[in-house]
Amino acid sequence: MRLLIMGAPGAGKGTQAKLITEKYNIPHISSGDIFRQEIKDNTKDGQLANKYIIKGQLVPDDLTISVISKRLQKEDCNHGFLLDGFPRTIKQAHALDQLLAKLNLKLDLVINLNVSKDLIIKRLSGRRVCLKCGATYNLNTNPPKKEGICDRCGDTIILRDDDKEETVKMRLDVYENQTKPLIKYYSDQKILVHVDGNLNFRDTFKEVVKFIGDLDGKH
């Protein structure tokens, strides 16, 4: 099962991705998480990526593609994976198609989460993340049990630097200009489905599961 989840920043990709990968037992490949880990480890790639991330810009395609290609060729991806946050440009989508073709694989399903702009802004300002385990929370809709503490691993949760208001606006522009064209790209490949991301995360997940279930039947 090779899946991809797309949507604007704040659409709830990360939350759905966690639910999907737990239910179907496949690795969650999040380009954002990989970059944040590299930054934490203070690697060369991390330092370079951070220059763009803090400004709300995309990390250059070459670096992003190389990081993800390496990850997808690890053994745990042999039986499937869920991509989250990659590809984000047409160039990255081409690179992914080429890589998968080389490995004799293809994507089964692209899930596009649709969310209204108002809700996106509301969600991002309330979003908190755990840098240790990658869990995400929302102070308004999905707070942790204990204030400021990750339910999963007990680390402190924080507002990401790039979730600050100015950076959010920039990320939304980047999404409109560079990532939205992928909807047509995958719709032309006939593997795209739309899911309503305005619902609460459990109802959205039910929709997602329906589409993935249909996929099972086809295999």
Binding site for ligand ADP (CB under 6 A): 9, 13, 31-32, 35, 52-53, 56-59, 64, 85-88, 92, 162, 171
Please identify which of the residues 71, 123, 127, 128 carries the catalytic annotation: 127
Q: Which of 135, 133, 122, 113 is nearest to 163 (CA)?
A: 122
Helix (H, G, I), strand (E, B) or coil at 129: strand
User: 98-137 mask for Zn ion (x: CB under 5 A)?
Assistant: --------------------------------x-xx-x--
Q: Which helix (H) or strand (E) holds 204?
A: helix 201-218
The entry of ligand ADP, Zn ion, none near residue 53 (CB within 5 to 8 angstroms by kind) is: ligand ADP
Q: Which of 145, 150, 146 is nearest to 128 (CA)?
A: 150
* Residue 36 appears among annotated catalytic residues: no
Q: Which is nearer to ligand ADP, 85 or 197 (CB)?
A: 85
Helix (H, G, I), strand (E, B) or coil at 147: coil
Q: Which is nearer to Zn ion, 59 or 150 (CB)?
A: 150
Q: Which is nearer to ligand ADP, 19 or 217 (CB)?
A: 19
Measured CA to CA, the distance from residue 159 to residue 162 in angstroms comes to 8
The entry of Zn ion, ligand ADP, none near residue 133 (CB within 5 to 8 angstroms by kind) is: Zn ion
* Residue 55 appears among annotated catalytic residues: no
* Residue 160 appears among annotated catalytic residues: yes
* Residue 127 appears among annotated catalytic residues: yes
- Residues 6 or more apart whose Cβ sits within 8 Å of residue 138: 123, 126, 127, 128
Question: Two tokens at 141?
Answer: 């809709």
Degrees to nearest 5, angle at CA 121 with 119 and 125: 120
* Residue 171 appears among annotated catalytic residues: yes
The entry of ligand ADP, Zn ion, none near residue 38 (CB within 5 to 8 angstroms by kind) is: none
Please identify which of the residues 2, 18, 88, 123 carries the catalytic annotation: 88
Per CB under 5 A, the list member of 3, 150, 192, 212 interacting with Zn ion is 150
Torsion of CA 119, 121, 123, 128, to 10 degrees: 170
Catalytic annotation, residues: 13, 88, 127, 160, 171
Binding site for Zn ion (CB under 5 A): 130, 132-133, 135, 150, 152-153, 155
